[in-house]
Structure 1
Amino acid sequence: MHRFYVEPANINDGRVIIEGSDVNHIKNVLRLVSGDNIVICDGQGMDYYCIISEVTKEQVIADIDKKIECKAELNNKIYLFQGLPKKDKMELIVQKSVELGVYEIIPVVMNRTIVKIDNEKKELARINRWQTIADEASKQSRRGILPQVHRLVSYKEALNMAKEMDIVILPYEKATDMSYTRKVIDKIAIDQTIGIFIGPEGGFDELEIELAEEIGCKPITLGSRILRTETAGLAIMSMLIYNLEDK
């Protein structure tokens, strides 16, 4: 069944109003008409099974048949604190981490960050681009929410955000005990919030590790191989969803 995202404000009194580019897609590409069934997601974890009642030039109106909680979301909220990488690597990181179930992505300027975003206009353009990629990935993977890409933050700001979370983990190339990694992941309980810190191309410096440990962050290894920044976050995300999917 075809699935569309609609703002919660457009879901009222047993009806859904679809506007924007989806109208053309429904009318002229899918050629759906009154009486056809569709699924509407509100981007907040709820799915609405609907029957199209009216198709106009600017709107598609559908009546809600039933409402159920989307089953595509983990019970844990995962926040990815990603050290800002070079070139278009962030686009891949955003896309794949959303597919894997991340709740929010926070790009972070760290001591070894090479990329310089030196004005607000440039930063906003990049954030908007990454958000578009996140939205598209969410729709493709049939997520129940639209994960957000946060504004760029400093490492200090990131730590202040992370210290409020239940568990914070940091894959680190100098960590060596894989049994400790398994222990940390296995102990994560249902509904706990999880922060993941991933360094940029140059990794973390020793001061950053010390500061992270001060807020209770747990440095872990992902194995005996050194992973690229665009791979490390996806690796730990995969480990987490394997462990958390059925909790």
Structure 2
Amino acid sequence: MARFFVSSDHIEYDDAGCAKNVLIKGTDVRHIKDVLRMSVGDTVTLCDSCGNEYVCSISDICNDFITTSVISAARCGSEPRIAIVLCQGIAKGEKMDFIIQKNVELGLNEIIPVLTEHTVVKFANAKDAEKKQIRWQRISEEAAKQCGRGVVPIVGMPDSYKNVIDRITSDDDTSTTLYIMPYENETDRTLKTVLYENKDFLNEGGSIKRICVFIGPEGGFSKKETEYAVSKGFTTVTLGKRILRTETAGMATVAAIRYEIGD
């Protein structure tokens, strides 16, 4: 069944507080009309990005919007228990597109593009960076539709290494967050070891609600960057005997975490 994301503002409720009608707006209208060629009476799955999904029947198709009637509503069962935030050193070319797409499929919750010392990609100005962010957010949404996610993972605005580190280690979630940095010069501490050491906190009902993973760009992290991350609470880990490409490292880490915690 075709799947789309809608704003919670576009959901109409009855007197009992149950979802009654859902409005579809934006680019999805053209996709439903002209690409999928759906018509009145066809069913779609609509998600409100709050973890709720609605099976709806199309009741009216207009030029700028589509009205649907709710057949059934439920909590989305595909969203993970523990959130994973990927702080990704911005990769060259279309690698970032691939990184975003595949990590969304693996259950990532948020991606923060990071400008590091070894980042090759440069933005001419803030508008240029914003255009990239909009494109990456669209890729995240398309991947979320394809793999049956209940929410669209957020792709943040590109930011400097220090700003990102400072922000994610100084918010209100530090006591419930595990910070992990795969690093090619780490030889002793494995990802599995760190997850095992924290297993009681990662179990159902445990205190850890979020895992932040920091992945370097093609050139990796500088020694200075790694030392700063460790000073702010990150644990460096090895992903094995082979050095992984930046587009592989994040996926390998996220997949391993999801497997180990059964999420």
- The TM-score with structure 1 as length reference comes to 0.91
Query: Are 2:134 and 1:128 equivalent residues in the alignment?
Result: yes
In 1, distance between residues paired with 2:44 and 2:129? 37
Query: 1:1-16 residue pairs with structure 2 within 5 A?
Result: 1-13=1-13, 14-16=20-22
In 1, distance between residues paired with 2:155 and 2:55? 28
Q: Which 5+ residue runs of structure 2 have no aligned equivalent?
A: 14-19
Give the counterpart of 2:217 among 191, 200, 210.
200
Alpha carbons 1:106, 1:152 under 8 Å: kept: yes
Letter in 2 for 1:216: G
Quote the offset at 1:137 in angstroms.
Answer: 1.0
Query: Are 2:57 and 1:55 equivalent residues in the alignment?
Result: no
Deviates more, 1:111-120 or 1:10-19: 111-120
Give the counterpart of 1:226 among 240, 243, 249.
243
Query: Are 2:27 and 1:21 equivalent residues in the alignment?
Result: yes
Identify if the C-alpha distance between structure 1 residues 24 and 123 changes in structure 2 by more than 3 Å, giving closer, same or farther. Answer: closer
Local SS of the residue matching 1:151: coil
Query: 1:70-219 residue pairs with structure 2 within 5 A?
Result: 70-163=76-169, 164=171, 165=174, 166-177=177-188, 180-186=190-196, 187-188=198-199, 189=202, 190=204, 192-219=209-236
Deviates more, 1:185-194 or 1:213-222: 185-194
Letter in 1 for 2:51: G
Local SS of the residue matching 2:128: helix
- The TM-score with structure 2 as length reference comes to 0.86
Local SS of the residue matching 1:71: coil
In 2, distance between residues paired with 1:117 and 1:27? 37
Identify if the C-alpha distance between structure 1 residues 35 and 194 changes in structure 2 by more than 3 Å, giving closer, same or farther. Answer: same
Quote the offset at 1:29 in angstroms.
Answer: 4.2
Q: Which 5+ residue runs of structure 1 have no aligned equivalent?
A: none
Once the two structures are superposed, what CA deviation does each residue of 1:66-124 show, in whole Å capped at 9, x if it has no partner?
Answer: 22111111111111111122222211111111111111111111122222223112111
Q: How many residues align?
A: 245
Quote the offset at 1:28 in angstroms.
Answer: 4.4
In 2, distance between residues paired with 1:36 and 1:117? 44
In 1, distance between residues paired with 2:84 and 2:41? 39
Quote the offset at 1:31 in angstroms.
Answer: 4.1
Once the two structures are superposed, what CA deviation does each residue of 1:125-173 show, in whole Å capped at 9, x if it has no partner?
Answer: 1111111111111111111111111111111111112214411100001
Once the two structures are superposed, what CA deviation does each residue of 1:4-52 show, in whole Å capped at 9, x if it has no partner?
Answer: 2211111112111112333344344444343333211112211012222
Alpha carbons 1:6, 1:41 under 8 Å: kept: yes
Alpha carbons 1:108, 1:153 under 8 Å: kept: yes
Local SS of the residue matching 1:64: strand
